[in-house]
């Protein structure tokens, strides 16, 4: 039973690390101005779409905004 608890803890910590990395990327991209985003081939509307996976968007109620 101990392995089950450890497995859950590891999965949760991995989730938190992924979530933090996503948030940091979003923050960094949102700090850029429109010209900087254009230089790297993005628009402000692309930020969330590029960061979150399809399942994540669907779970957040945003699955129909393709």
Domains in the chain: boundaries: 27-59
Q: What is the Cα–Cα distance from 29 to 12, expressed in whole angstroms?
A: 26
Which pLDDT score is estimated for 66?
A: 45
Q: What is the Cα–Cα distance from 59 to 20, expressed in whole angstroms?
A: 18
Cβ distance 24 to 31 under 8 Å? no
Three-class secondary structure of residue 25 per DSSP: helix
Q: Which residues contact 61 (CB under 8 A, 6 or more apart)?
A: none
- Evaluate if pTM is beyond 0.85: no
Answer whether residue 60 shows pLDDT above 80.
no
> What confidence tens digit (pLDDT) does each residue in 12-46 have?
999 999 889 988 988 999 999 999 999 999 998 88
Torsion sign over Cα 24, 48, 50, 37: negative
């Amino acid at each position: 039973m101990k392995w089950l608890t450890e497995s859950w803890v590891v999965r949760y910590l991995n989730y938190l690390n992924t979530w933090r990395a996503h948030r940091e990327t979003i923050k960094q991209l949102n700090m850029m101005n429109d010209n900087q985003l254009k230089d790297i081939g993005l628009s402000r509307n692309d930020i969330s779409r590029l960061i979150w996976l399809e399942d994540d968007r669907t779970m957040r109620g945003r699955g129909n905004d393709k």
